[in-house]
Amino acid sequence: MEVKEDRILVWDPFVRVFHWSLVTAFVVAWASGDEWASLHERAGYFIGTLVVLRVVWGLIGTRHARFTDFVVAPRRVGEYLNALRTGGGERYLGHNPAGAWMIVSLLVMLTLTIGSGLLMADGEQWEELHEALAWATLLLVLLHVAGVVVSGLLHHENLVRAMVTGRKVRRQLDV
Amino acid sequence: MSEQGLLRLSWFFVALVIASAVMLARLDLPLIAPDVEREHGEHRHDRERDTYGGLVQWSSGLVQTVVANPDTV
Ligand code: HEM
């Protein structure tokens, strides 16, 4: 018997274009950091534009793009991770609580990194701060990707594909 | 706005992303950190040409060779 899947659009076109543009620009910014200032600075401005647009979209956007849809009380992060560890953990159609706070952290860290980069117009004393923030952001990105892989495995779903197609399968017990 | 309307608006945001990428690529931006360049004892622009320029030259040479002599491949 064929089970009919209920695949619904979760990530709108902007969220998907935002994400993969951000990934590309982030790689370009890292690759050009010490070598190619004009490209590095363009990548930085582009990431800044992306972050601003994403924040606006987080306020007015489609259902699962809105901050009010996924930013929950911080204590829910611990609860969610604990539940995951013991084999439970609700499956979310949008971002889960841990993912949500990772997204907030990434957006904040990207903003700080860009801010410190802009300050370098003022003199080289900001370079160390800029580099430290860039490294911290890279660390978060690695955690982010690890989180995507682990939660995808535990919930038996391909979250990366969903960020490409925008679609996820709706299940009965979803939050 | 309805979810349908927001979905259409989301394409407008996509257009903004593309427009800003194109604009940034074409704009002649003043460099933010010229002092830092000097501090490293060499101009980044020179190194830029060394690292990436060499790669670009090498690959464009390769493409030209292949295009000129398709039977060599
Ligand atoms: C190849 C590397 C990456 C992969 C595979 C990846 C994958 C994903 C996935 C699957 C999601 C959706 C999470 C969910 O289902 O809740 C997501 C969201 C997100 N990722 Fe990544 N990511 C990558 C790199 C990055 C980088 C480098 C950044 C930032 C510098 C980043 C920032 C974000 C942000 C801000 C979101 C939230 C999306 C939104 O709601 O707008 N990601 N990522």
Query: Per the structure, how many domains does chain A have?
Result: 1
Q: Report d(CA B22, CA B13) in Å as an integer.
A: 14
Question: What residue's CA is closest to ligand 1, atom 14?
Answer: A95
% of chain A residues with pLDDT over 70: 95
B40 and B73: one domain? yes
Give the pLDDT mean for A21-40: 93
Which residues form the domain of B26? 1-30
Is residue A57 less than 8 Å (CB to CB) from chain B? yes
Q: Give B13-62 pLDDT, tens digit per residue.
A: 999 999 999 999 998 888 887 644 444 555 555 455 555 666 677 777 87
**Residues B22 and B46 grouped into a single domain:** no
More confident of the two residues A27 and B60:
A27
CATH of the domain at A140: 1.20.950.20
Work out how many domains chain B is built from and give that number: 2
Question: So what's the pLDDT on residue A121?
Answer: 87
How close A48 gets to chain B, by Cα (Å)? 11
Q: ipTM score here?
A: 0.90
Q: Is A168 helix (H, G, I), strand (E, B) or coil?
A: strand
* Beta carbons of A53 and B17 less than 8 Å apart: yes
What is residue B73's predicted lDDT score, i.e. its pLDDT?
A: 63
Sign, Cα dihedral of A151, A154, A157, A158: positive
Taking the Cβ of residue A50 and every Cβ of chain B, the question of whether any pair is shorter than 8 Å is answered with: yes
pLDDT at residue number A39: 93
pLDDT at A175: 66
| The model's pTM | 0.84
Query: What's the CA gap between A139 and A40, in Å, rounded?
Result: 19
Give the residue with greater pLDDT, B7 vs B55.
Answer: B7
Whether B13 and A14 have beta carbons less than 8 Å apart is answered as: yes
For A34, the token pair is: 């010490």
Per-residue pLDDT tens digits for A137-158: 999 999 999 999 999 999 999 9
Residue A59: count other Cβ atoms within 10 Å of its Cβ.
Answer: 10
The residues that bridge with A9 in the sheet, in sequence order, are: A167
Among A160, A116, A163, A159, which Cα is nearest to A136's? A116
B25 and B3 together in one domain: yes
Whether residues B25 and B40 share a domain: the answer is no
Nearest by CB to B13, which of A9, A14, A36? A14
Whole-number Å distance between alpha carbons of A135 and A155: 30
Model confidence at A21: pLDDT above 90: yes
In chain A, what residues touch B41 (CB-CB under 8 Å)?
A: none
Domain span holding position A141:
5-171
Alpha carbon of A88 to ligand 1 centroid (Å): 23
Say how far apart CA B3 and CA A71 lie, in whole Å: 20
Looking at the structure, do residues B70 and B56 belong to the same domain, yes or no?
yes
Q: How far is B66 from chain A (nearest CA, A)?
A: 28
